[in-house]
A = this chain, B = another copy of it.
Amino acid sequence: MSEPTDPRLRLRVVFGDGRMVGPGKADLLELIRDTGSISAAGRAMRMSYKRAWSLVEEMNAAFREPLVARTRGGAQGGGAALTAAGEAVLSHYRAIEAAAAEAGAPDIAAIRGMLRDISDGK
């Protein structure tokens, strides 16, 4: 239900030193961009604020320039937004996803075709 019916390929880009970017970070970036808030983004993906916050910390620490700019206090309490670097990383990640899905499509289909049909009457 909340699970998208047909996610095909999940991929993470792994650099040394435990630094990596995967679906979780990408979705978080996207939601921060859309909501303007770390906590709202976290809520949207049913993730605790703390976890969302620590992912942001990780990303900001991993890159030369922070991906997420945060402001504290103010009328609305504060907020967060993607920096140009954040936008760039997100869009590159989506591009990798798209390119990989397309490039791998034939072989994915081949494996898919070998799966047992489970039209279970559950």
Oligomeric state, in copies: 2
Contact between chains at A115 and B11 (CB < 8 Å): no
Instruction: Convert A78-122 into 0s and 1s, putting 1 for each residue whose CB lies closer than 8 angstroms to a CB of B.
Output: 000000010011001101100110111001101110111110000
Q: How far is the CA of A93 from the CA of B104 in the complex (A)?
A: 9
Shortest Cβ gap from A65 to chain B (Å):
7
Asked if A49 is an interface residue, CB under 8 A from chain B, the answer is no
Measured in the bound complex, the distance between the Cα atoms of B10 and A117 in whole Å is 27
Closest beta carbon of chain B to A5's beta carbon, Å = 7
Q: Which 7 A-B pairs have the closest CB atoms?
A: A100-B100, A103-B103, A99-B103, A96-B104, A11-B11, A92-B107, A95-B107
